[in-house]
Structure 1
Amino acid sequence: MNDIFCKLKKIFLSETFGGILLIISTIFALFVQNGFFSEHYRNLLNLKVGFSVGEFELNKPFLLWINDGLISIFFFAIGLELKKEFLHGDFKNPKNIILPFIAALGGILVPALFFTLINIGDVYTLKGWAIPTATDTAFALAILMMCGKHIPSSLKFFLLSLAIFDDVGAILIIAIFYTTELSIFAFTVAAITIFIMFILNILKITRKSFYFICSLILWISVLKSGVYATLAGIITAFFIPMATKEGKPFLEEIYESLKFWLTFVILPLFAFANAGVNLSNIDLKAIFSGVSIGIFFGLFIGKQLGVFVFSYFAIKFKLANLPQGSNLKQLYGVCILTGIGFTMSLFIDGLAYEVSDIFHYADNLAILIASFCSGIWGFIYLRFFANRA
């Protein structure tokens, strides 16, 4: 009985199951948005939730609590993973960082170029240049895992590493290009909080409550500063000690405790809140607009092209090595999967075009179609063509 429970637990917490759950959440969101419950769905997402203490007030729609709050926990987990890899994992060897870093760079520059060239001349639509630069880590990894033993494990590490750099790139893009009004007072509070966490880290203090309070203050101050609050998640992660004074794993314990919430709550809820595209309001003009075309070609063509070409030349000029036990065909197959923008692209889309129906939801639909095409084609290619001579 215990063996069965352990196997089920392993399946439920795997990247594959997480990807399947995201697909279910997406389909459910589309069904609810375009069915009898559409009004209730929109009312729920627009419901104002908040609190006030004296003159301080924090009052946001439920959708923004998900996009600014819950998704910060996802970036916190990414930050924990990144720190662990740099200090004790494969990133400790600089040679292992080069290929995924260069690949991630290509996966940002080329899709952005595709979108920019298609929408050049229109200042407003160009605000969405970063939409096709993102990769949904959970989805891409889930599909790669579905390919089973046909793909060497080194390519999973390559995709994971690339996704980490991709997420860091997304955070920097959000912080630099999608920040408007800045608050010096909020920045000061954030800086003091960061300094306190630095001291806690130096002293190897591992009281979770201390870090929770600091992270909450940091999140609120970053949110109020004008910079998007997701940045607080990854900053906090860098100050979490690897181990207690007694040598017991601390960072790993926190990371493992988050897996359940990320798999079953945070990412599915994020997908449900953002994937509800109103299909009834989409018209042909919007589908073939520069924004939709830029997103589709940026994600489905630009993303895989940028990642593969940059990787190929990095290997050709001996800046990096091909992942162990893999070939260029398999590497290209993984590059196709990076076109699954989904949740991250939807998130950036919401930042770029604050009015959700400005393009009659065709921009959201383009993200879903491009992600779907990248996932299906990536799986078919890896499963049936990548291992052929």
Structure 2
Amino acid sequence: MSLQRHWANRLARTISKMFGGEAAGGILLIVVAIAAMLAANSPLQHTYHDLFHDRLAWTPIPKLDTLHLWINDGLMAVFFFVVGLEIKREVLDGELSDAKRRRLPVLAAAAGMMVPALVYLTIAGTGQPMQRGWAIPAATDIAFAVGVLALLGKRVPASLRLFLLTVAIVDDLGAVAIIAVFYTAGIKLAWGLGGLGFLATLIAANRFGFHRYWLFLVLGIGMWFCVLYSGIHATVAGVLAAFCVPLTVTRGDSMLLRLEHALVPWNSFVIVPLFGFANAGVALAGIGFDGLFDPIPLGVLLGLFIGKQVGIFAAIFASDRIGFAPRPEGASWAQLWGMAVLCGIGFTMSLFIGALAFPRYPLLIEEAKLGVLAGSLLSSVLGYAVLRFASRPAKLPA
């Protein structure tokens, strides 16, 4: 069946037409988040919880014995696989392939991860287990942020959209590294070596030109299975497998580009919304809106809403002023501030890291979710407002 006739692609085109192109992904996530909150705070709350957390009657992989685990450890591996494909394409043949062009987005992304982490630690403290949530506000949700940006149409210069995408991609790479390094409790050596064996075989298949989809699929699933049982989070396998997929055009075709094109609709309109619905539902009965002022949700909220915009905007401003790298062409300082605010939309990756940070503390996971949702909401509203009313490009006074 051709890609054009694939139902996931048809769904993507239908939703895009309904909500306006690139804005569709972001709008769908808003709808999903609202639906999850309603379900978690209604008479359906027990049904909602049981649906995702009750043990399955049967599962082919004993470690994945709930629907929630299949989504977070299984489907999200596909999400990270697509992220890996995007990162590899950008590094080898995109905005990150040129040293001069990648200076500013890499610097902005790094500052946009460090400052939110510092804000979080300042508020939540460095004691355990609160300290483990430092990375929650460090991530940006590409679909959400680009969706809000798309609602503004031609009010926003193309250079600003491209810069936001590049920063978010570098941000994703940083988040993957954080998950692999800081949220791995212990590694089971035999399973880890098995994963390395599959990875080495994938690299060899690429190196020696064995470009068969079925081969990469089998080897990728094998590596994911080994990583799942190794103690390293299974989604890391998705990124590593993506890095092994050939980008080189052979006979007018590129495996990486075809896979990315085929999987992006699944990511945007099936996997991420399903993950959002399964993870964004916060039961307020045990927390309440007053709970936003507890250390963890407040640290996450301010990390996303304040830390992100301060870190990214300060990096752009300082870089431009000292001549390290100029700001995006055609974008005013007000527009750059609005873009920096939008980077405070965490959602998918922040919710994901929140679940990894407090695996033994369900209440803290719920509090972290509340902070993610509140920080993302404030960032989307303020970011949209700033960009909506931003003036045309103008220079700061000398």
- Report the Cα distance in structure 2 between the residues aligned to 1:112 and 1:203, rounded to whole angstroms: 42
SS in 1 for 2:82: helix
Across the aligned residues of Structure 1 and Structure 2, the Cα RMSD in angstroms comes to 2.2
Given candidates 39, 47, 51, the residue that maps to 1:40 is: 47
SS in 2 for 1:246: coil
Q: Are the aligned partners of 2:16 and 2:24 in contact in 1 as well (CA < 8 Å)? A: no
Classify 1:284/1:379 alpha carbon distance in 2 versus 1 (closer, same or farther; 3 Å). closer
Residue 251 of structure 2 corresponds to residue 246 of structure 1: yes
Q: Are the aligned partners of 1:350 and 1:356 in contact in 2 as well (CA < 8 Å)? A: no
Given candidates 159, 163, 166, the residue that maps to 2:168 is: 163
Q: For residues 123-164 of structure 1, what are the alpha-carbon distances to aligned partners after superposition, in whole Å with 9 as ceiling and x for unaligned?
A: 221111111111111100100111110111111111111111
The structural deviation recorded for 1:7 is 7.3
Residue 316 of structure 2 corresponds to residue 311 of structure 1: yes
- Report the Cα distance in structure 1 between the residues aligned to 2:47 and 2:14, rounded to whole angstroms: 34
Q: Report the equivalent of 2:7.
A: none
Q: Report the equivalent of 1:142.
A: 147
Q: Are the aligned partners of 1:111 and 1:306 in contact in 2 as well (CA < 8 Å)? A: yes
Q: Report the equivalent of 1:89.
A: 94
Q: Are the aligned partners of 2:330 and 2:393 in contact in 1 as well (CA < 8 Å)? A: no
- Report the Cα distance in structure 2 between the residues aligned to 1:278 and 1:284, rounded to whole angstroms: 11
Q: Report the equivalent of 1:226.
A: 231
SS in 2 for 1:48: coil
The amino acid across from 1:27 in the alignment is I
SS in 1 for 2:63: strand
- Report the Cα distance in structure 2 between the residues aligned to 1:284 and 1:33, rounded to whole angstroms: 14
The amino acid across from 1:374 in the alignment is S
- Report the Cα distance in structure 1 between the residues aligned to 2:40 and 2:209, rounded to whole angstroms: 48
Q: Report the equivalent of 1:122.
A: 127
The structural deviation recorded for 1:36 is 2.1
Q: Report the equivalent of 1:340.
A: 345
Within-5 A mapping of 1:200-239? 200-239=205-244
Given candidates 364, 375, 384, the residue that maps to 1:379 is: 384
Q: Which moved more, 1:326-335 or 1:113-122?
A: 113-122
Structure 2 residue runs of 5 or longer lacking an equivalent are 5-9
Q: Are the aligned partners of 1:16 and 1:146 in contact in 2 as well (CA < 8 Å)? A: yes
The structural deviation recorded for 1:9 is 7.3
Q: Are the aligned partners of 2:206 and 2:244 in contact in 1 as well (CA < 8 Å)? A: yes
The structural deviation recorded for 1:229 is 1.1
Q: Report the equivalent of 2:30.
A: 23
The structural deviation recorded for 1:284 is 6.2
- Report the Cα distance in structure 2 between the residues aligned to 1:377 and 1:285, rounded to whole angstroms: 22
- Report the Cα distance in structure 2 between the residues aligned to 1:210 and 1:26, rounded to whole angstroms: 37
Classify 1:387/1:281 alpha carbon distance in 2 versus 1 (closer, same or farther; 3 Å). farther
Given candidates 323, 330, 338, the residue that maps to 2:335 is: 330
Residue 111 of structure 2 corresponds to residue 106 of structure 1: yes
TM-score (norm 1): 0.93
Q: For residues 145-184 of structure 1, what are the alpha-carbon distances to aligned partners after superposition, in whole Å with 9 as ceiling and x for unaligned?
A: 1111011111111111111111111111111111112111
Classify 1:60/1:386 alpha carbon distance in 2 versus 1 (closer, same or farther; 3 Å). farther
- Report the Cα distance in structure 1 between the residues aligned to 2:42 and 2:64, rounded to whole angstroms: 29
Q: Are the aligned partners of 1:119 and 1:125 in contact in 2 as well (CA < 8 Å)? A: yes
Q: Which moved more, 1:42-51 or 1:356-365?
A: 356-365
Q: Report the equivalent of 2:266.
A: 261
Residue 203 of structure 2 corresponds to residue 198 of structure 1: yes
Q: For residues 279-335 of structure 1, what are the alpha-carbon distances to aligned partners after superposition, in whole Å with 9 as ceiling and x for unaligned?
A: 222246633211121111111001110111112112222221211221222111100
Classify 1:89/1:283 alpha carbon distance in 2 versus 1 (closer, same or farther; 3 Å). closer
The amino acid across from 1:41 in the alignment is Y
- Report the Cα distance in structure 1 between the residues aligned to 2:64 and 2:87, rounded to whole angstroms: 32
Structure 1 residue runs of 5 or longer lacking an equivalent are none
Classify 1:360/1:129 alpha carbon distance in 2 versus 1 (closer, same or farther; 3 Å). closer
The amino acid across from 2:215 in the alignment is F
- Report the Cα distance in structure 2 between the residues aligned to 1:51 and 1:9, rounded to whole angstroms: 32
The structural deviation recorded for 1:61 is 2.0
- Report the Cα distance in structure 2 between the residues aligned to 1:149 and 1:45, rounded to whole angstroms: 41
The amino acid across from 1:208 in the alignment is Y
- Report the Cα distance in structure 2 between the residues aligned to 1:43 and 1:386, rounded to whole angstroms: 50
TM-score (norm 2): 0.91
Q: Report the equivalent of 1:350.
A: 355
Figure out how many residues of one structure are paired with residues of the other and give that number: 383
Within-5 A mapping of 1:50-65? 51=59, 57-65=62-70
The structural deviation recorded for 1:119 is 2.2
- Report the Cα distance in structure 2 between the residues aligned to 1:262 and 1:337, rounded to whole angstroms: 21
The amino acid across from 1:24 in the alignment is V
